[in-house]
């Protein structure tokens, strides 16, 4: 992000402004739209498949993104030397309908990064789905994933989120700065915050076992993960807690500081609490099967959202 700080005294609504300083501010606002891409999910996984057809191994929530900017997915992964392994990343809706997809391939047993960019369609809360397969039933394995919303360019005109490009505005170099122009700059910044939630903690179930393995047998709540809250705001603000469950009669509980979110049944559940969570607050995630079977906590995420 190309950011050039300005003296606040050069940008006061209703007063004459410094044209060079104001032009830099306009450019900063446009750059924020293109380059502000906080992570949605970031975690170690160890997803592993030996199959010749695409096999889903993980899924995470993608909230907001009202302007349908591209989703950038990174994976540290490998195939098997001499064979072709394929990694597929899809954006899907709540019913599993594919709204955009991309692939990467590997012909090596050495781990390397691949980047897949997907520009989705649709609206509202969507999900990132990860699948693997390989030729001749050979191993394909992912060790780490990162995903964020990251536009490729500054769009022209008014977007769905209410953001509008400003760097091309032709303002008088010595005239007053209209208050509606200052309001547009503020609204643009707010629009970017609304459509780019920031992932703070996340975990995905490891396919085929491993550590951590968010799979529990029995009806007693079992601790499957713990964390420390990575950052704190000075006031209450809005967050998103999202959990995806699988297995037999699954139930999970996510606790951080004074907040507790409990949910049941296979699939996705979400909560949108407004909380004050100081940095370093301890967090815990539990799972069980209410009928004593085997339950899986397949995904948990907490994201900071704009109010």
Written as six digits, the tokens of 277 are 């969570």
- Taken as a whole, the chain contains a residue count of 307
Domains of the chain, by residue range, sit at 8-36+152-195, 39-149, 201-304
**Do 39-149 and 201-304 show the same overall fold?**
yes
Q: Please report the DSSP string for 73-135 in residue order.
A: EEEEEE--TTS-EEEEEEEE-TT--EEEEEEEEE--SS-EEEEEEE---S-SSEEEEEEEEEG
3-state SS assignment for residue 187: helix
Tokens of 282: 């301890």
Residue 6 CB: number of other CB atoms within 10 A?
16
Are 73 and 131 in contact by the 8 Å Cβ rule? The answer is no
C-alpha to C-alpha distance for 280 and 226, rounded to whole angstroms: 12
Contacts of 168 (CB under 8 A, 6+ apart): none
DSSP secondary structure letter of residue 232: -
Question: For each of the chain's 307 residues, which pLDDT tens digit applies?
Answer: 566 667 777 667 666 666 667 777 788 888 899 999 999 999 999 899 999 999 999 999 999 999 999 999 999 999 999 999 999 999 999 999 999 999 999 999 999 999 999 999 999 999 999 999 999 999 999 999 999 998 988 888 899 999 998 877 766 666 677 777 888 888 999 999 999 999 999 999 986 666 668 999 999 999 999 999 987 777 899 999 999 999 999 999 999 999 999 999 999 999 999 999 988 999 999 999 999 999 999 999 999 987 6
CATH code that applies to domain 201-304 = 2.60.120
Whether 307 contacts 300, CB under 8 Å:
no
- DSSP-based three-state secondary structure for 190: helix
What is the C-alpha separation between 184 and 33, in angstroms, rounded?
Answer: 13
Axis-axis angle for helices 179-195, 19-35 (nearest 10): 20
- pTM, rounded to two decimals: 0.91
- Tell me what pLDDT residue 171 has: 66
Query: What local confidence, expressed as pLDDT, does residue 9 receive?
Result: 72
User: Right CATH number for 39-149 from 2.60.120.260, 3.50.30.50, 3.40.50.300, 3.30.70.360?
Assistant: 2.60.120.260
């Amino acid at each position: 992000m190309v950011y050039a700080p300005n003296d606040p005294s050069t940008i006061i609504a209703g007063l004459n402004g410094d044209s060079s300083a104001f032009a830099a501010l306009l450019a900063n606002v446009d750059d924020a739209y293109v380059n502000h891409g906080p992570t949605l999910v970031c975690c170690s996984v160890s997803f592993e498949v030996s199959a010749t057809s695409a096999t889903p191994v993980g899924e995470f929530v993608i909230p907001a993104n009202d302007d349908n900017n591209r989703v950038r997915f990174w994976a540290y992964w490998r195939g098997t030397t001499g064979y072709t392994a394929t990694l597929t990343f899809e954006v899907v809706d709540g019913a599993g309908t594919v709204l955009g997809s991309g692939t990467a391939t590997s012909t090596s047993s050495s781990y390397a990064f691949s980047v897949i960019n997907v520009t989705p369609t649709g609206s509202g809360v969507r999900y990132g789905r990860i699948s693997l397969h390989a030729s001749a039933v050979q191993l394909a394995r992912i060790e780490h994933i990162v995903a964020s919303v990251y536009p490729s360019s500054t769009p022209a005109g008014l977007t769905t989120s209410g953001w509008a490009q400003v760097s091309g505005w032709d303002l008088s170099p010595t005239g007053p700065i209209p208050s509606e122009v200052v309001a547009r700059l503020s609204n643009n910044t707010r629009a970017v915050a609304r459509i780019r939630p920031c992932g703070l903690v996340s975990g995905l179930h490891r396919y085929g076992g491993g550590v951590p393995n968010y799979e529990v047998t029995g009806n007693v709540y079992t601790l499957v993960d713990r964390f420390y809250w990575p950052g704190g705001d000075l006031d209450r603000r809005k967050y998103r807690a999202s959990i995806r469950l699988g297995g037999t009669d699954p139930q999970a509980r996510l606790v951080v500081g004074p907040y507790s979110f409990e949910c049941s049944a296979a699939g996705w559940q979400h909560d949108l609490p407004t909380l004050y969570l100081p940095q370093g607050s301890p967090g815990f995630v539990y799972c069980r099967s209410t009928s004593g079977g085997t339950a899986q906590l397949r995904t948990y995420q907490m994201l900071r959202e704009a109010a």
